[in-house]
Amino acid sequence: MTTTAPVPSTTSGHERGTAGYRRLGAALWCAGLATFVLVYCVQGLLPTLAGEFGVSSSTSSLALSATTGTLALAIVPLSAVAESRGRARVMTVALAASAVLGVLAPLAPSFGALVGIRALQGIALAALPALAMAHLTNEVAPRALGGAVGLLIAGNTLGGLSGRLVAGFVAEAAGWRAALAAVGGLSLACTVAFRVLLPPPTAPAPPRVRLRDLGGSLRAHLADPGLCCLFATSFLLMAAFVTVYNYLGFRLLAAPFGLPAALVGLIFLGYLAGTWASTTAGRLGDRFGRRQVLWATVVLALAAAVLTLPPWLPAVLAGLVLFTIGFFGAHSVASSWVGRRAAVAPGQAAALYLLAYYAGSSVGGLIGGVAYDHAGWTGVVGYVAALLAGAVGLALLLRRIPPPVAAA
């Protein structure tokens, strides 16, 4: 039997401004922070890892792609089965296990061992992102959902920023092993805060699910052209985003910029613009419609990627900030749209969206490394522009696809 989850009515769930809404938002903000501080802490360390272990820029990216790749592979089955085991319990266990692995990562004796530990972290975290999105969908009033998802993504954004900055500064002072140890400690603290802040659930838990029962709802999701467009958009957006942030550091360390590693690490401050963009775009989507906001944010990211082409630092930095705003705005709108569009099993639909998201990070990031190794930053921008042009086409196509009957 296919598991279904009721779409909340317009009067159910935590409303914006209530104590429950604030506690839920703060708890899931901590969960997003803990998740992304672990997943993306190595991104700013890729040049260091390449030099430490004598590997190429594209090979060094395996330290990131291993985590996102295993997360993508495990996210659908684990999140579907784990959802009926109690979302709060499963999210806490996932965060704690991944944080412990984060503390073990600095002890890796070789690059292969580090990649293996990072792959295990991806599996440990696999159930958490989709459960967090599904939990918001069930616990927050629909008219406040876009802003709540934007807050969750803001936590993701700050987690990504914190992981990169903490790792970069600690690595500069004490090496990459100390950097990963600091990140592991930070994620443990976030896990404790998440468990303390999370309010008791108000919606009933869905019935237990077995893996063999997933086929019906999976087919329903994949038969919906709107959801398929959102899944593909997720893949393209994340492939472009990870490529830019993976390899811009290599570019800025080399001529003609020749910046010191400590300054290059500061490029991740661009994530602060993403924190603002995710919450703002979510609310704009609630107010003006997701169909209007999605394509505009993707076009902004595309134009910004082209702006980074000239070898002039102000243009590169301005392009990076605008690119980050466009990406996080589009991701906030698309991810909140999935939960509202899914006619059955919205948690599973969110898992499919995140499968595409992390597959884009893993596969797209590796291909971006090949583009950088063979054609430098011009090759990266060409590759990213092609990805985002595809995302613009999908966003425009979504404007013509009617909502499902239940949503209408």
DSSP for 240-294 reads HHHHHHHHHHHHHHSTTT---HHHHGGGGGGHHHHHHHHHHHHHHHHHH-HHHHH
> Which is higher by pLDDT, 329 or 147?
329
Least confident residue range of 123-132, 178-187, 219-228, 328-337: 123-132
pLDDT in tens, 87-101: 778 888 999 999 999
Handedness of CA 149, 155, 158, 163 (dihedral sign): negative
pLDDT for res 273: 86
146 pLDDT more than 90:
no
DSSP for 122-186 reads HHHHTHHHHHHHHHHHHHB-GGGHHHHHHHHHHHHHHHHHHHHHHHHHHHHHH-HHHHHHHHHHH
pLDDT in tens, 201-247: 776 666 666 666 667 778 888 899 999 999 999 999 999 999 999 99
Q: Which residues pair with 14 in a beta bridge?
A: 140
Asked if residues 325 and 300 have their Cβ atoms less than 8 Å apart, the reply is yes
- Domain residue extents for the chain: 19-199+212-398
Sole residue written with tokens 């490394």: 369
pLDDT for res 232: 97
10 pLDDT more than 60:
no
112 pLDDT more than 80:
yes
Across the range 144-149, mean pLDDT stands at 74
pLDDT for res 212: 64
From the list 328, 379, 359, the residue with the least C-alpha distance to 153 is 328
Q: Please, what is the average pLDDT of the chain?
A: 86
8 pLDDT more than 70:
no
> Which is higher by pLDDT, 342 or 373?
373
- Dist. CA 292–CA 344, nearest whole Å: 25
Least confident residue range of 41-45, 345-349, 382-386: 345-349
pLDDT for res 3: 34
Across the range 164-185, mean pLDDT stands at 91
pLDDT in tens, 359-408: 999 899 889 999 999 999 999 999 999 999 999 999 999 988 887 755 44
Residue 57 has which token pair? 């820029």
Percent of the chain with pLDDT over 90: 48
| CB neighbours of residue 229 within 10 Å | 21
pLDDT for res 207: 62
Which CATH superfamily is 19-199+212-398 part of? MFS general substrate transporter like domains (1.20.1250.20)
pLDDT for res 78: 78
pLDDT for res 2: 32
pLDDT for res 187: 92
Asked if residues 39 and 67 have their Cβ atoms less than 8 Å apart, the reply is yes
Residue 380 has which token pair? 């990266």
